[in-house]
Each structure stands twice: as C-alpha cells, then as structure tokens.
Chains A and B, each alone.
Chain A
C-alpha cells in the first residue's frame, strides 16, 4: 500500500513542481477580454480585426481617424500633409518628436522600408492591393514574383549569391519605379497612379504601420532554396519588438494573455488614459462572458454566446445585471450571394444568371422577420450593401424591399410561371424550377437563416430549396470555384469609402465569387475612380450601387452586422462614470490609449 501512496504523492508533487506556465502580474488599469489570442504582431501580415485593433495600440500610422466623429483623418505619425491639385502626390510631414520605443527617431525612411516590405511577395501580405494605388507598385510586385518563380522553378543555379543579387536588384527597382520615397528624414512623398479619394483613410490602416528597420533586418534570412526573404517570427516577442505607438507589449504568452504598458517614448504620452492594459483571450464564448460578469475584465470585445438574445431582451426589460451588454453597429453586411454565371459548375443552366430571377428571390425575403424571429439580436435590416450612414457624404440609394407579390411578378416576367398548376413554376419548355441549393459554412446560425429563407421562397414563389452545409474550409473552396447556386456571405469594410464594398461586384475582382459582370456598373466605378470632385464621385458611386441593389441584385443584403460589447456604461443618475473612451460609431475603431475604467473600478 505504501507504494500506492508514494505514487499518489509523487504524482501530486510532480504536478505542482512543474508549476505554472504563466504567473499573473499586478492587475492592469484596464483589462480587455477577447475571444482569440492575437495571431500576429507583424503589421504587414495582419488580417484579423483584433490584430488590426492591436496595431492601432502598438504602432502609429501616418494618420489616425476621428473615431468618435465622422472618421475624418487626423494627424498621427504625420503632423501635416499636402495633396497636389491633380490628387496624385501626397507629401507627409512627419513629427520631429516621434520616437520608437527604444528611443530611435521615427523617420520617413522607416515608412518606405515598411511599405516596401508589404509590397514584396516574400512577405505574403494579404492586404497588398491597398498599396497597388501607388505608382509602379503593382508592376513591382508582379516583377519580383516572376523573378522568384523563375528562381524556384527555373534551371538556373540556386545559391546564396544569386538570391542576394536578386534581392539587391529588387531594392534598386523599388527605388527607381515605385512612388514612395523619403525626401529627407521627416518628409515622405507618395505618388499614385490614379487619384484615390480615400488614400488618407488607407494610410490609417494597420497594415501600413511603420516597422523598425534594424529589428526586422536582424531577423531576416535570405533562403537560397526559394530566393525568398524569410523572417524569424521571434522579432515580435516582448523584449525584442520595437514599436512606435502608445503601448509596448511587455508580456505575451501563447493564448495566455498580453500586457501592454504605455510607451514613455510616444510623443503623445500625456494623452494615455490607462498606463497598463491587460488582454485576456478566452476562446469559450460562455466562459468569456462569465469572466466579465465576475469582474475579470472592463471591456469584452465580442460576445457570441448562444444566449445573447436573452441577454439583450433582459437588458431591454431593465434587468440591472444585464446593463453591461451593448449592441454596436459594425461596418459590415450579412448577405447571400447568387451565382451569376450562365451555367452552374456541373454544367446545368443557371436560373440565377437572369437578373429578374435574382430580383424575385431578393424581394421574397422578409428580412425583418429573420432578424426578429430567427436572429433575435437586434440587427438593422438593409436592402443595400454599403451600411447606410457609415460613410460621410454618401447617401444610400436604397434597394428592393420585401414584396412577395412583386417577387412573383418578377419571376413570371423572367419566364417562370406555374403552368401545370402543381405550385412549382416552370419555364417555357415546361421544365420546373430546379431545386435551389443553399451553401453555407456550418457551426453558426446560417442554417437557421437558410431554412427560414427556403420557407419564404416556397411560400412566395413555389420554389423548393435544399440546404448544403459545409465545413468552413470546404465552403470557401466551393466559393472560390463557383460551385454553388446561393451562398452565405459576409463583408466588413476595410476603409471609409463605398468602394470597399462596391469593388466586390466589379468584373474580375478577386472577391467577386459571384462571377457577376455588368458593364454599366464597371463603367460607373471607373468614372468614379477618375472623378476628382468628391461630391460628384459619391454621386457616381451611389448610381453604381443603385444598379446592383435595384436591378442586377448579385446578392441579397440581409442586415448590417452588430458587434456585442460588455462594459460598464456607468450610472448618470448616480454621477458615476463607467468605462470611458469606447466609441459606438459604426466602424468600431477603438484606440486603446483612450480607454479608461476609473469609474468602473470604483463601482466594484
């Protein structure tokens, strides 16, 4: 028996001896709960919204956006800028007192270095197209890409010398052909191919953050097998990473949280409300909500629990315990895409190639009913793609409203009429309307939406549908290959211009999985791109959106997304402030340095 006790004791001692991977430091002044760890701190390769949100805390871009107002650009790392009259040349004047967290000055050269890095295919930045507006940038990317492919697959010798020679050639070519250069340490000049009305907005985007060249160079390695500049991801670890923003990451454990401390080097350090911020990733939605409700966090960045509708209903009913939940309008639209190609992937004729059929299906969906009965989380339904009210100067053109009678007429005009009285419409050849396949990714609410829409279409149009739920990677493969009839979709805008949505329906756009192509629409977008007068430009874009939302309908917009935050709103009657600094404006850009929880702490 003694051995049993020894084994048990040994097991327990070993368990405790191995100890804990992470020890909590002192509590931070502000604690954020998120549902994911950050994926990367390398701005060039960021894609996820919480990574980008962090990029606004640890880096400072050329400009910032007025996130509490109308998102106008305000000075960031650049204290001022001027734009040439043809809208092609931007000259940024950088702050003389801007410093990296190690004390080095932030210079125009650092921006050139960072942007060149984004433009190199080696870096594999997903947001590379943002820089394609810059003169020569697209050609440079294509050229370097060809060189690398030739190096990798060609018969030439693969050696360190040749890889280095290729890289030198690339840097030289960049300098000669790409319109980004530093006039001096504090003047950055950017030349564009065509005027881009929202270019300043792009300059505020996290991916275009500057990076500290010496740190990056110290971690780069040129592969003689592929010719690619590889980076050792270790450069982003606390202690090594050098940043130019309001905060410096001082602790980061894999899925174990991050600690941010205010950078004394930041030129605007007095503006920082919370000196320390703790980020706690909790992947399980329920656990993360319980963590907030037990006082572990000040702000929960994204509630996704299945009982969210009940939380919102309890809040609406005045439940004291649920006052922390907030629905915030986000800069995104939930929609279902039509396959607009003339034939389906399996060769069958595609009934949705006909705009009239698409209109009929769009008009037969009772969106309010979907939101009220199926979703139950209070989204605003929409008949257009660009979220109304989210972009200054853009008046939403409006789209097709719910009208089952009109939907039937549209279908009949497209030649689909119930000719034999069985309730299912047939075409002139007597063939019944094919069973509509609804493709979606499983594991979310899309199946409920698909079922409800199938019901509405059966009722209004007599059309049968079938649900096709696939695991998200398979669903995405099908989308890319155009193998679907209708597919669920979602889009969040990247910058404050209608084109961040409208480009999705442009002929040949990488994200135009619908295969939609309509010349008048493309023409209007092109005209808008050339138009220098902001008002006339918005006018053209409104007309373009009107074409897609009223006539062509390549997709059915259902609602604008909400994000759901948990935070203490304070108590005005009691004169107590809650969490301060969070904006509820639709683009949900949050700058961490503005966040404070003094009032919320006092209440606990």
Chain B
C-alpha cells in the first residue's frame, strides 16, 4: 500500500501540470477581452495596453511561464533565497481582474473553507438519510415505505438544486420563519443549503445501500448469523450493512469532491460565499487568474480525495490489494 501511495504522490504534480496546461489553453480560448470589463463604457486603448503588459496578457507564452512560476512557489523560493524582504505568498495564484482588491489566494482562503464545510456536511447528511432509507427499503422490499423512499430518491436525483433550494427557501425562512435568507455565519444558515445539496447524493446512497443490502441479506453468512441467534439489529448492522456499504464508500470519494466543488447552484440560491459561484463568475468574466487558480486547487483537492478513498477502501476491505 505504501508503494501505491508513493507512486500516486509522484503522479500528482504531473496530473496537475496537465490540468494546468489544458485549463490555460481553454481559458485563453474564451473569446472576449479579459480586462475590458462589461460596462457600457469603453476603456482608453493606452490604459488597456498598460494593464495587459502588467499581467503578461499581451503574450500567452510569457503568461504560461510566469503564472507557473508564481503558482508553484518557484518565484517565492527565488525571492527568498535572494533575501528579499517581502517575497510574497509561497503559492502565488495571482490577482483577480474583476475583484481588483483581492488576490486569488485571498479569495480561496475565504471561500474554500466554506465550500468544504458545506460539501462535507451535505455528504454527511446524505449518508445519514441515504443509509437509513436504503436499509429500511431493503428490509421491506416492495412495501409502502420502500415505495416512498424510491419516490423521494427519484425526486432528489431528478430535480435541480435551484428548484429544491428555492422551494426550501420559500417554505422554511419565508413562510415558517425558520432560518434566514441569504445569510451565512451561524448553524441556522448552514443546514438548509447543506440539506439541499445533500438531496441528490442521499438519493444515490439510498439506492446503492438498498441494492447492496438486498444482496447481502440473502448471503450465506447472514443466514448463518441468524441461525446462531444474533439479534435482528446485529444481523443488519454488523453482518449485512458492512458488505452493503462498500459500493457506498467507493461513491463517497467523488461525491465529496463534487459536493465541495460543484455546489455553485446551491451557493447562488442561498448566497453562500463559497468557491463555486466565484468560479462560474470568473469564467463568465474571463477572470484568468481566478479560473487558473481555482482549477488548480480544485484539481489538487479531487486528486487527493481519490487517493484518500483508495486508501480507505483497502482499510475497510482487506480483500482488496
């Protein structure tokens, strides 16, 4: 296992470099001017030229190299070695054009934690709901309660978050007065977006669990457990669910990654200051540094999470080599 981890860690920078290059090509291919802005007022050409020179926007090759230089920490290392007083941040992901007062580092620092909190909480809720619904469904297949979880799961998977989210926003804060609209910072602000975000994952976990459980409950070792007189609870929780959980676990890695990085619709509807919506805004506004920086950090996150799940998988199921 150590060998696997080491080789994956060696691959990591190469994967990131490939992603960086692909993002660079795509981001530069976005039509339109990065600095010109969207307002109806046009900028003086001389001013435009001076901004472009400053950020190496007049020369893609220079941009590619200079950005890599800053983002990988090489520039910082050089400046530190040269004994400069202020070598800047270690990994310098550049400035934002549209939000000129913030660097991409600051933007990520303020919003990455938010997205991770929201994503992890959503996956946590999804696990609780999904496992419970899946187990109940498997114990009484074809019953009314199974049908209900099936319908709820179907709704959870099919309805887009902006519908679910808006509906929940209308029901809870607006009609019932529970929680706030567009707030962030207290636990009350957190549960509604997290719940909305969890719905599609919960639905998927429920279906995975149900299928796994139905198989597991028919397995020989479960029958043996029943025969030797284990309590029904113990049979389900210890003997059946442990096996049924494996497909769920392998789904958790990508689910965590998606929930953390792909929550922009939920972030928009609930006004959660996470990374997702900044990233979408950045692409629309061709905010090059933000696009590059966020993609790099997200990629690193996803690659790491996948590695983590692979390790966990081996821990949970010793049969896997």
Q: Does A467 contact B (CB under 8 A)?
A: no
A1-B242, A121-B46 known; A42+B101 contact, CB < 8 A: yes
- The answer to whether A15 touches B273, judged by C-beta atoms less than 8 angstroms apart, is no
Q: Which residues on the B side are within 8 Å of A286 (C-beta)?
A: 166, 269
- The answer to whether A291 touches B46, judged by C-beta atoms less than 8 angstroms apart, is no
* A21-B186 Cα distance, complex, nearest whole Å: 10
Interface size on A, residues (CB 8 A): 77
The residue on A at minimum CB distance from B175 is A294
* A23-B183 Cα distance, complex, nearest whole Å: 10
- The answer to whether A480 touches B46, judged by C-beta atoms less than 8 angstroms apart, is no
- The answer to whether B54 touches A228, judged by C-beta atoms less than 8 angstroms apart, is yes
The residue on A at minimum CB distance from B236 is A1
Q: Which of A1-39 contact B (CB under 8 A)?
A: 1, 3-4, 7-8, 11-12, 14-16, 18-24, 33, 37-39
Q: Which residues on the B side are within 8 Å of A256 (C-beta)?
A: 110, 184, 273
Q: Which residues on the B side are within 8 Å of A48 (C-beta)?
A: 39
Q: Which of A39-82 contact B (CB under 8 A)?
A: 39-42, 45, 47-48
- The answer to whether B50 touches A24, judged by C-beta atoms less than 8 angstroms apart, is no
Q: Which residues on the A side are within 8 Å of B39 (C-beta)?
A: 47-48
Q: Which of B144-177 contact A (CB under 8 A)?
A: 166, 169-170, 173-174, 177
- The answer to whether A288 touches B182, judged by C-beta atoms less than 8 angstroms apart, is yes
* A253-B173 Cα distance, complex, nearest whole Å: 24
Q: Does A445 contact B (CB under 8 A)?
A: no
Q: Which residues on the A side are within 8 Å of B106 (C-beta)?
A: 254
Stretch at the interface among A380-388, A408-416, A468-476: A468-476
- The answer to whether A24 touches B186, judged by C-beta atoms less than 8 angstroms apart, is yes
Q: Does B120 contact A (CB under 8 A)?
A: yes
- The answer to whether A41 touches B101, judged by C-beta atoms less than 8 angstroms apart, is yes
- The answer to whether A19 touches B113, judged by C-beta atoms less than 8 angstroms apart, is yes
**Shortest Cβ gap from B290 to chain A (Å):** 11
A7-B252, A473-B32 known; A24+B245 contact, CB < 8 A: no
Stretch at the interface among B20-28, B68-76, B121-129: B121-129
Q: Which residues on the B side are within 8 Å of A40 (C-beta)?
A: 99-101
Q: Which residues on the A side are within 8 Å of B306 (C-beta)?
A: none
- The answer to whether B33 touches A291, judged by C-beta atoms less than 8 angstroms apart, is no
A296-B182, A476-B32 known; A3+B44 contact, CB < 8 A: no
A-B contact pairs, 10 of them (CB 8 A): A1-B237, A1-B242, A20-B190, A22-B110, A24-B186, A128-B47, A233-B103, A254-B107, A284-B269, A286-B166
Report the 8 A-B pairs with minimum CB-CB distance, sorted nearest first. A473-B32, A15-B120, A291-B182, A12-B124, A15-B121, A291-B181, A282-B182, A256-B273
Residue numbers of B with Cβ under 8 A of A are: 31-33, 36-44, 46-47, 49-51, 53-54, 95, 98-103, 106-107, 110-111, 113-114, 116-121, 123-124, 127-128, 131, 166, 169-170, 173-174, 177, 180-186, 190, 237-238, 241-242, 245, 248-249, 252, 256, 268-271, 273, 277-278, 281, 286, 312, 315-316
Residue numbers of A with Cβ under 8 A of B are: 1, 3-4, 7-8, 11-12, 14-16, 18-24, 33, 37-42, 45, 47-48, 121-122, 124-126, 128-129, 141-142, 145, 148-149, 152, 223, 226, 228, 230, 233, 236-237, 253-256, 280, 282-284, 286-288, 290-291, 293-294, 296, 471-474, 476-477, 480, 489-492, 510-511, 513
Q: Besides A19-B113, A22-B273, 12 other CB < 8 A contacts? A: A1-B245, A8-B131, A20-B114, A39-B101, A47-B41, A233-B100, A233-B102, A290-B169, A294-B180, A473-B31, A473-B38, A480-B42
